[in-house]
Amino acid sequence: MSGTIETVGVIGLGNMGLAMATRLAARGFAVLGHDIGAPRRQLAAEAGISVAEDLAPVLRAADALVFSLPLARDVEAVVTTPGGLLARRDRKVVVIDSSTSDPGTTRRLARQLALAGHGLLDAPVSGGPSGAAAGTLTMMIGGSGEDYAQAGPVLDALSARAPHVGPSGAGNIVKLVNNLLVAAHLVTTGEAMRLAEAAGLSADEAIAVVNSATGRSAVSETMYPRWILPGTFDSGFSAGLMRKDVRLALELVGETGLDLPLSAHVGRLWRDAAIADGDDFTRMADFRTPGETRDV
């Protein structure tokens, strides 16, 4: 039995999860959040979000759930919590999993939830915490048409675009393809800007021209002016998470049996780069020599 979505549970109150929770609350949903970390729960409470210290109350009370979790195993642990969602029979609950996960895990969990009368949409996002807070995310939705329709009010609140790209797992496939491209663009754009500077043209001047020519990308058009040229490197997305996404993309390459040598090389560069997992992922495109600072 499905019904109107009034209460949305948000599991995972990191940069993205908290931004989505505050956006949903601003759009009139009753939001109940949970995070395993007490500091994140405190931040959410200070932002006006109702917070549960334990996971079970959220799983029992929500009409729909939004997950924003680091790894597929975290998603599985929440879905299979004893006495949690799999035990509910009062209504159909659709899980909107905004985590970037592997398609195989998503499909397996979707089957488990369907047997219990619930739904799972893999709904990875693009747009960062600022896009989540403004409701301008792009969400890539995999799952059944019925679940997609039921989750519509929540998707509309969070996103500017949320296309239904296919059955379960399709959203994660699109996200992995997208982030593999972003990972490559960060490498190539960073190298191109180092070349410009070494040849006597500032990165500022070079980027201005590239962004009106065919070499432009989201890295050059958005990430360079916001976070890389100023040297703030504070997009809110970590290098560790991008490494994880690149690894998942390359695992998918292996499953398909393709030989993608450039993608494999990008993976090695990200694996071996001298940036910590906790650093912002935009540091991968830093064109400065180590220790250099610039006024821009």
Q: Which residues are catalytic?
A: 175
Strands 141-142 and 164-166, by their bridges, are parallel
DSSP for 113-168, written as a single string: HHHTT-EEEE--EESHHHHHHHT-EEE-EES-HHHHHHTHHHHHHHEEE--EEEST
Q: Supply angle C-alpha 29, 30, 33, rounded to 5.
A: 115
- Judged on CB neighbours under 10 Å (0-12, 13-18, 19+), 257 is exposed
Strands 137-139 and 125-126, by their bridges, are antiparallel
Helix axes 203-210, 170-198, angle to 10 degrees: 130
User: In whole angstroms, what is the distance from residue 250 CA to residue 240 CA?
Assistant: 15
Number of neighbouring beta carbons within 10 Å of residue 145: 9
DSSP for 183-205, written as a single string: HHHHHHHHHHHHHHHHTT--HHH
Enter the DSSP assignment of 35.
-
**Which region holds residue 202: left if phi is over 0, alpha if psi is between -120 and 50, else beta?**
beta
